[in-house]
Amino acid sequence: MPAVVSETLLRIAVPTPLHRSFDYLPPRGTDCSRLQPGQRVRVPFGRRTAIGLLLGVTGESGVARDKLKRAIAVIDSHPVIETDVMAMVQWASAYYHCPIGEAMAAALPVLLRRGESPNAADITAWRLTAAGRGVDPASLARAKRQAATMIQLQRHPAGLAREAIDAPASVLHALADKGWIESFSRNAEDPAGPVATEGEAPHTLNPAQQQAIEAMQASPGGFQPWLLEGVTGSGKTEVYLRLIETVLARQQQVLVLVPEIGLTPQLVARFRRRFPVPLALLHSGLGERERLAAWQQARSGAAPVVIGTRSAIFTPLARPGLLVVDEEHDASLKQQDGFRYSARDLAIWRARHLDIPVVLGSATPSLESLYNVAHGRYRHCTLPERTGGARLPAFKVLDIRNQPLEQGLSYPLLDAIRRHLDANGQVLLFLNRRGFAPTLMCYDCDWVAECRRCDARMTWHRADGHLHCHHCGSQRPVDSTCPQCGGQELHPVGQGTERVEQALAERFADIERIRIDRDTTRRKGELDALLGRARNGGRQLLLGTQMLAKGHHFPNVTLVAILDADHGLFSTDFRASERMAQLIVQVAGRAGRHERPGEVIIQTAHPDHPLLQLLITRGYPAFAEAALAERQAAGLPPSTRIALLRAEAVDAQRPIDFLEDARQRISDSGISGVETWGPVPATMERRAGRYRAQLLLQAEQHGRLQQLLGQLVRELEGLKAARRVRWSVDVDPADTY
């Protein structure tokens, strides 16, 4: 029996792993009639205090009144988070089965989670002085960190918040002593970037762009999802810019979501040149002060254009008019731990809630979005050709089964590289594996170096003489003799980017090489600097992982080579072939974006793989159609819905037992229409010292899956066994291993 009480109670989302909200008595003397959802409240929680978010007030609680604790204080006089964002997070918390308190916390900037005022105070920032603007950072060759800081500040003429500068105080003071930089105090609510004095003239649209824009603008206002499918370099961004223009003309705001790798200085510069308005940028590289400031500008409406990565979907907007999700297929739009939301799917939800259009753009749309087009949920626009007469590159599959390879490079490929360099072309080599070699092996006894905490091999990084585990991050010095037989014959097997770079250095000694991977871009500013050199490079070798593959525009690249396409063809994950196709098309899209036609060479030991053949002979749309049919036949998404229940523990049996219990509960639940697969150990069972297992849930109807998960999560949460494993639910998982 719910106890009915007279005093108003506060229903609060407290950041804890429990799937529920908590009721509190209001702080003494609170005028509850003035409280609004979205205000922060400090509450006692266990032996600590916590900052929660008010979901609403209520007259009754499932908890007896004398058991209820009293909240300590209402922190805000006004909500810090708007009702539409509250509604979205509440919906997402239910849909993804993420505890409401954790979901709400994830939606707030860290400083607000800690109780700071949303009206951020002044912050310290640094900028170049007039003297500093005349300095060539190259002259600081012997003071690398000073040079890097100068480069960083040159890119931000309006100055950068102290937190955003990746240099110790000593570097800043050294530069200040030279008179080249100065500090100043900036109101955090000022526009973060320079406001361009004059906008850039837009391109004259080509007919396909024209059609797309007319279609989007002809439809009545209100909610409408669009899939803008345009081959790489077809002018999708130009279409976004035009749409945004009309949104700004109506005094409304736009939110543009991009993948983590997509938020490049070039993209931002393009927006700045086009729109002489303040821009709010939200990405992982920001300091917390800066993030709060950008968030506040979006919320107040001071920044009409808001660009950000995944979590920017939670940014409040004063006058929302349009949502854009660029590279909507990109896996980084799905959060992989904690609150496992898809920013793309939330964008659809939010647009519907706000009754505004939403544009999803990609050269390689997700099968989910194509499925939604086929079922009439999204409208479709295509840009089938590249702008300015640039042609799509020609594909060539290179069978490496009977080829000698030189550090992963076949002779026909080496010839092609030479040919393109001789013609002053730029060559891009793609290998999604960093380090020197993925395996270190003893030739005497076949021992291989493995991670002590994972079921995985260690990658040898020659540059630092260490073995690294790419799964848990552990490192150790490379063995000098075999720990198993004592032999001396330890050799690297296979290639990473570091090793291929060395091979290229030997073969093409006179050619400039640029390697872009996590190891060469650790410091702030390094990636920008390398990309800048690559963009302006002529006769040059570019080598990199997927950091190089996405979104960038290298006008002079004429040859793209994919050194190893086979990884994606035979993975256990059902999305592997989709991801492989997207990656190949995206990497290939770096070639021939200018007048010069491009060539793409794909090295593979499986040249006859049907999906690979389809992709290169008939293109991504034909591939996607076949892949969708395969998924449908296998009962996999998007025609069905799936969720993963994952569990892990320090011993191997507990996760399996826990999931077996869950499976039993599912079959006893009386809810039909949900099938289970497993439990099974994860493909890599042990990671970072923990054993992992999973149970796959699959349903024709999403409603059934939701109903079941709702019930299951509540039951599991109460189990003692649940406290001995770490478990989680992943709805619409991005991967299943």
User: Is residue 234 a contact residue for ligand ADP (CB under 6 A)?
Assistant: yes
User: Is residue 487 a contact residue for Zn ion (CB under 5 A)?
Assistant: yes
In the list 206, 264, 546, 683, the residue contacting ligand ADP (rule: CB under 6 A) is 206
Classified as helix, coil or strand, 57 is strand
Residue 392 DSSP one-character state: P
Give dist(CA 397, CA 400) in Å, integer.
9
User: Is residue 598 a contact residue for ligand ADP (CB under 6 A)?
Assistant: no
Candidate ranges 117-125, 404-412, 470-478, 619-627; the one touching Zn ion (CB under 5 A): 470-478
Nearer to ligand ADP, 234 or 364 (CB): 234
- What mask, x for binding Zn ion by CB under 5 A, covers residues 663 to 682? --------------------
Give dist(CA 210, CA 465) in Å, integer.
55
User: Is residue 485 a contact residue for Zn ion (CB under 5 A)?
Assistant: yes
In the list 70, 173, 203, 375, the residue contacting ligand ADP (rule: CB under 6 A) is 203
User: Is residue 236 a contact residue for ligand ADP (CB under 6 A)?
Assistant: yes
CA distances (Å), origin 138, targets 134, 148, 151, 171, 256? 12, 10, 9, 16, 35
User: Is residue 253 a contact residue for ligand ADP (CB under 6 A)?
Assistant: no
Candidate ranges 258-266, 270-278, 472-480, 657-665; the one touching Zn ion (CB under 5 A): 472-480
Give dist(CA 591, CA 554) in Å, integer.
8
Residue 465 DSSP one-character state: T
CB of 207 to ligand ADP, least distance (A): 9
Give dist(CA 458, CA 438) in Å, integer.
7
CB of 591 to ligand ADP, least distance (A): 13
Candidate ranges 325-333, 440-448, 558-566, 691-699; the one touching Zn ion (CB under 5 A): 440-448
Binding-site partner at residue 388 among Zn ion, ligand ADP, none, CB < 5 to 8 Å by type:
ligand ADP
Reported in sequence order, the residue ranges of 481-536 that DSSP labels E, i.e. its strands, are 490-493, 512-516
Give dist(CA 638, CA 634) in Å, integer.
11
Binding-site partner at residue 237 among ligand ADP, Zn ion, none, CB < 5 to 8 Å by type:
ligand ADP
In the list 26, 52, 137, 230, the residue contacting ligand ADP (rule: CB under 6 A) is 230
CB of 478 to Zn ion, least distance (A): 14
Candidate ranges 231-239, 276-284, 505-513, 715-723; the one touching ligand ADP (CB under 6 A): 231-239
Beta-bridge partner residues of 675? 698
# residues contacting Zn ion (CB under 5 A): 14
Spatial CA neighbour of 590 closest among 564, 623, 540, 556: 556
User: Is residue 209 a contact residue for ligand ADP (CB under 6 A)?
Assistant: yes
User: Is residue 238 a contact residue for ligand ADP (CB under 6 A)?
Assistant: yes
Binding-site partner at residue 582 among ligand ADP, Zn ion, none, CB < 5 to 8 Å by type:
none
Nearer to ligand ADP, 230 or 496 (CB): 230
CB of 265 to ligand ADP, least distance (A): 14
CB of 388 to ligand ADP, least distance (A): 5
Give dist(CA 656, CA 8) in Å, integer.
45
Binding-site partner at residue 233 among ligand ADP, Zn ion, none, CB < 5 to 8 Å by type:
ligand ADP
Compute the chain's Rg from CA coordinates: 27
Subset of 639-668 contacting Zn ion (CB under 5 A): none
Subset of 361-420 contacting ligand ADP (CB under 6 A): 387-388
Candidate ranges 18-26, 108-116, 486-494, 672-680; the one touching Zn ion (CB under 5 A): 486-494
**Do 582 and 327 form a contact (C-beta atoms < 8 A)?**
no
In the list 235, 308, 357, 637, the residue contacting ligand ADP (rule: CB under 6 A) is 235
Spatial CA neighbour of 349 closest among 90, 658, 144, 672: 90
Per the omega criterion (within 30 degrees of 0), is the bond before 15 cis? no
Give dist(CA 115, CA 110) in Å, integer.
9
Binding-site partner at residue 484 among ligand ADP, Zn ion, none, CB < 5 to 8 Å by type:
Zn ion
Give dist(CA 36, CA 678) in Å, integer.
45
Classified as helix, coil or strand, 502 is helix
Binding-site partner at residue 485 among ligand ADP, Zn ion, none, CB < 5 to 8 Å by type:
Zn ion
User: Is residue 550 a contact residue for ligand ADP (CB under 6 A)?
Assistant: no
CA distances (Å), origin 26, targets 34, 41, 67? 12, 9, 14
Alpha helices in 108-254 (DSSP H): 110-113, 130-133, 144-154, 169-177, 207-218, 236-249
CB of 461 to Zn ion, least distance (A): 14
Give dist(CA 201, CA 209) in Å, integer.
16
Beta-bridge partner residues of 692? 648
# residues contacting ligand ADP (CB under 6 A): 15
> Which residue has 């490379």 as its token pair?
478
User: Is residue 451 a contact residue for Zn ion (CB under 5 A)?
Assistant: yes
Per the omega criterion (within 30 degrees of 0), is the bond before 679 cis? yes
Candidate ranges 230-238, 431-439, 516-524, 606-614; the one touching ligand ADP (CB under 6 A): 230-238
Sign of CA dihedral 170, 171, 172, 176: positive
Neighbours of 338 (CB within 10 A): 15
Candidate ranges 102-110, 236-244, 444-452, 674-682; the one touching Zn ion (CB under 5 A): 444-452
Classified as helix, coil or strand, 181 is strand
Spatial CA neighbour of 255 closest among 266, 244, 245, 264: 244
Residues that bind Zn ion (CB under 5 A): 442, 444-445, 447, 451, 453-454, 469, 471-472, 482, 484-485, 487
Q: Which residues bind ligand ADP (CB under 6 A)?
A: 203-206, 209, 230, 232-238, 387-388
